Amino acid sequence: MINLIEDFKGEATGQLIDRGRVVDCLLDLRSAAADQTHLVTLVESVLADLPGKNVVETEWWIETLDRVAAEAQPEPVT
């Protein structure tokens, strides 16, 4: 999952990114997280609140990917 997120971040250049591409990436993340309910819920929430009509600000996209990556980190063992 983290590698997938890093790939998506690497593709995000410029100030705007095509909204359709963002949707495709989010669907890929949802599929990759199929066994982690909290991640599926997070991705579905992002999909429901996706900004823009045709494009999304790259800054928002990177922040969203960072948030998903943070949630995807394994819980520390105590």
Residue 12: alpha-carbon gap to chain centroid: 12
The model's pTM: 0.90
Residue 38: alpha-carbon gap to chain centroid: 13
Query: pLDDT tens digits, residue range 23-59?
Result: 999 999 999 998 899 999 999 999 999 999 999 999 9
Query: What average pLDDT does range 50-78 have in this prediction?
Result: 90
Distance CA 61, CA 78 (A): 33
pLDDT value, residue 75: 66
pLDDT value, residue 73: 82
